[in-house]
């Protein structure tokens, strides 16, 4: 499986409606602290936009809703994974991306046979408080050597200016939140990301 090199992460269907039509091909809907009916409604809206624009939608955390709404890809962290029903996820045909932050988490993630592994935070992030120091590019390269052909997603503190560094050190896809959503011009920044990641599409 190949991932698009530009992996946008946003917290609402409204963002997806705004940015996906610009040419985004891989997007995660990462909603926190909203009521389940609202989240379901956003998943439906996001799914419709992504289908219309040939964009892969990945639902964060809410794997039961993703199954019920006929989605095909979820992302789980290690705490999510500990309580998720992997058999139900597999039986529903969903692909699975998993977060990792240290050696133990990588072993746990690989045992779950995911479709990609994410490593973060590569650089300091302002999105959320994290107990891990920035991993850096050497660690990213080490992760790639361990997971081989399994796609590797770099996340945390990424900016347009940092894109080349993560791909030169083993990333297959670069995930981003604030460099786009807190930019004064999110549309222009999205186009800059599309342009800057274009040359990192993998063959196959």
Ligand X SMILES: Cc1nc(C(=O)O)sc1CCOP(=O)(O)O
Residues lying near ligand X in the complex (CB under 6 A)? 99, 101, 120-121, 125, 127-128, 130, 155-158, 176-179
Q: Which of these segments, 1-9, 56-64, 151-159, 165-173, binds Mg ion (CB under 5 A)?
A: 56-64
Question: What residues contact 190, with CB distance under 8 A and at least 6 apart?
Answer: 8, 19, 22, 23, 24, 180
* Residue 25 in the binding site for ligand LCLJCK34 (CB under 6 A): no
User: What is the rounded distance in angstroms from the CA atom of residue 72 to the CA atom of residue 107?
Assistant: 24
**CB-wise, 85 or 185, nearer to ligand LCLJCK34?**
85
Strand pairing category for 26-29 and 116-119: unpaired
User: What is the rounded distance in angstroms from the CA atom of residue 81 to the CA atom of residue 72?
Assistant: 17
**What mask, x for binding ligand LCLJCK34 by CB under 6 A, covers residues 114 to 133?**
----x-x-------------
| CA 20 to the chain's CA centroid | 14
Cα–Cα distances (Å) from 100 to 8, 70, 120, in that order, read 18, 26, 7
Q: Is 170:152 a contact under the CB 8 Å cutoff?
A: yes
Q: Which of these segments, 5-13, 59-67, 149-157, 178-186, binds Mg ion (CB under 5 A)?
A: 59-67
Q: Which of these segments, 60-68, 130-138, 141-149, 160-168, binds Mg ion (CB under 5 A)?
A: 60-68
**Interface residue with Mg ion, options 61, 105, 172, 179 (CB under 5 A):** 61
Binding region for ligand LCLJCK34 (CB under 6 A):
28, 30, 60-61, 75, 77, 80, 97, 99, 118, 120, 153, 155, 175
């Amino acid at each position: 499986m190949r991932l698009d090199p530009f992996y946008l992460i946003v917290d609402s269907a409204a963002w997806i409606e705004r940015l996906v039509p610009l040419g985004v091909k891989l997007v995660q809907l990462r909603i926190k602290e909203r009521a389940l009916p609202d989240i379901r409604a956003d998943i439906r809206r996001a799914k419709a936009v992504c289908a219309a624009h040939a964009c892969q939608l990945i639902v964060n955390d809410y794997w039961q809703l993703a199954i019920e709404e006929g989605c095909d890809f979820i992302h789980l962290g290690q705490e999510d994974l500990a309580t998720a029903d992997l058999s139900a996820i597999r039986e529903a045909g969903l692909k699975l991306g998993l977060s990792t932050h240290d050696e133990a988490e990588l072993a746990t993630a690989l045992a779950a046979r995911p479709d990609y592994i994410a490593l973060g935070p590569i650089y300091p992030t302002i999105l959320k408080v994290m107990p891990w120091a920035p991993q850096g590019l050497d660690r990213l390269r080490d992760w790639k050597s361990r997971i081989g052909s399994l796609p590797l997603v770099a996340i945390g503190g990424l900016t347009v200016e940092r894109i080349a560094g993560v791909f030169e050190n083993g990333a297959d896809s670069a995930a981003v939140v604030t460099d786009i959503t807190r930019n004064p011009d999110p549309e222009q920044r999205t186009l800059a990301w599309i342009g800057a990641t274009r040359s990192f599409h993998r063959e196959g």
